[in-house]
Amino acid sequence: MAKLQTDAIHGHEFRDQYGSHIPPIYLSAIYEYIDYELGMAVFNDRGNYVRYGREDNPTTRALERILAKLELGEDALAFNSGMAAESALFLSQLNRDTKIVVPKEIYSSTFVLLENLASKIGFKVVRVWPSAESIVEAVDDKTAMVFIEVMTNPTNKVIDLDYLSKSIDLEKTILVVDNTFTTPVVLKPLRYKARFVLHSMTKYLGGHNDVVGGAIIGSKKDMLILWDWRRILGTILQPLDAYLVMRGIKTLEIRFERISKTAQTIAEYLSEHPRIEEVMYPGLTRNPYHDIAKKLFEKPLYGGVISFKIRGSYSDVLNFIRRLKIIKRAPSLGGTESLIVIPIKAGSMFVDPEDRQKLGITENLVRLSVGLEDPEDLIQDLSQALTS
């Protein structure tokens, strides 16, 4: 079995009659019938007949082979966004009179999606404190699915996936792990008996803030079922986007290591700054989630997302962000550029306000996604904005 960096470059397994070194961008929307009477066209390696670009694409398929290898799965599916991937997964797995257990702190658009689907389908959404113990306590015979982010967004709480997987009957309850924040560089959830691994490929996998995409990795059997849902919903990742994600994945490990080391340096700087009330980053030894992260992660790397609270009011936070010169005011994370947001006005805006306060998602909290700029330049930018 090849190492991650090798699979990231060569795992597409693409071959053609021209000996193309890079999988081409196949822009065809249609495929020629090989048997007109039976309505059959290209026979893909999943065992499906493909007639239309909504069903499959050779460029997208090359990316999926890489994704499966990186996450140690049997197969993978690429979608045109992370939310599209979640939609197909929830529609395929959740039924009337079942329930899904989710932490109170996840990307809040996921809450909106779940509540909308629940009102139509009839399943129940149970929100609990983001810890393995609270999740296990909420699981019962009606629990069809547990959905978690190992590192929560935005306060970087770390859920003990090892404890969770050993404490739930995974023959009865599906465990889904969003591995966007942690990536397969440091965590492979299938080793902990997760049934599905989910990614927003817009983040670290694409890595350049220029493509939107989602992915699900799991068994061949489950991917066949999800393939049909993707076909019906029309949410396949388009070939140009698949090409861009493949290009980004080639440098995933190198980028994640550099970004994590820069983030560690910045987190340590911020933790000593008099204008900073609290730094939420599991790479800090005094962080309450450091030991869990150290146990779970395969390398001492903790990602590029740092959340911190500025001493002062919401107005002070706005003034700080406006003074930044290198770090840009924009959503997303994991790309080449450093980005900053106020979570209550971004990814946490749909979290219940009372829950936000208990979780520490306050008006003075900002989330910094560290990019590939020089660490000294980023610290100088933060310093001048905090000092002004």
Q: Which structural domains are found in the chain, ordered by start?
A: 4-249 (3.40.640.10), 252-387 (3.90.1150.10)
Which amino acid does the sequence have at 363? Answer: E
- HEC string of 304-352? CEEEEEECCCHHHHHHHHHHCCCCEECCCCCCCCCEEECHHHCCCCCCC
Q: Which of 31, 42, 292, 67 is nearest to 160 (CA)?
A: 292
Residue with tokens 């999988």: 23
260, 272 in Cβ contact below 8 A? no
Length reported for the chain: 388
Strands 365-369 and 305-310: antiparallel
For residue 35, which phi and psi values (nearest 5 degrees)?
A: -145, 95
Q: CA 281 to CA 158: how far, in whole Å?
A: 10
Please give the radius of gyration of the chain, using alpha carbons only, rounded to the nearest integer: 21
Q: What is the pLDDT of residue 382?
A: 98
Contacts of 333 (CB under 8 A, 6+ apart): 181, 203, 204, 304, 305, 339, 367, 369
Which ranges of the chain have pLDDT less than 50? none
Q: What is the pLDDT of residue 347?
A: 72
Q: Which of 232, 231, 200 is nearest to 216 (CA)?
A: 200
Which amino acid does the sequence have at 31? Answer: Y
Q: CA 175 to CA 195: how far, in whole Å?
A: 6
Contacts of 246 (CB under 8 A, 6+ apart): 12, 23, 62, 63, 66
Q: What is the pLDDT of residue 33?
A: 66
CA distances from 179 to 196, 216, 252, 264 (A): 10, 10, 14, 20
Within 13 Å, how many C-alpha atoms sit on residue 70's CB side?
35
Q: What is the pLDDT of residues 311-342, one digit of tens each?
A: 999 999 999 999 999 999 999 999 999 999 99
322, 314 in Cβ contact below 8 A? no
Query: Based on the number of CB atoms within 10 Å of its own CB, is 314 exposed (0-12), middle (13-18) or buried (19 or more)?
Result: middle
379, 268 in Cβ contact below 8 A? no
Question: Hey, CA dihedral for 348, 349, 355, 359, is it positive or negative?
Answer: positive
Q: Where are the alpha helices (DSSP H) in the chain?
A: 4-10, 58-70, 82-93, 108-121, 132-138, 161-167, 183-186, 220-233, 239-249, 252-271, 290-296, 314-323, 353-359, 375-387
Residue with tokens 């306590």: 137
Which amino acid does the sequence have at 236? Answer: I
Q: What is the pLDDT of residue 31?
A: 77
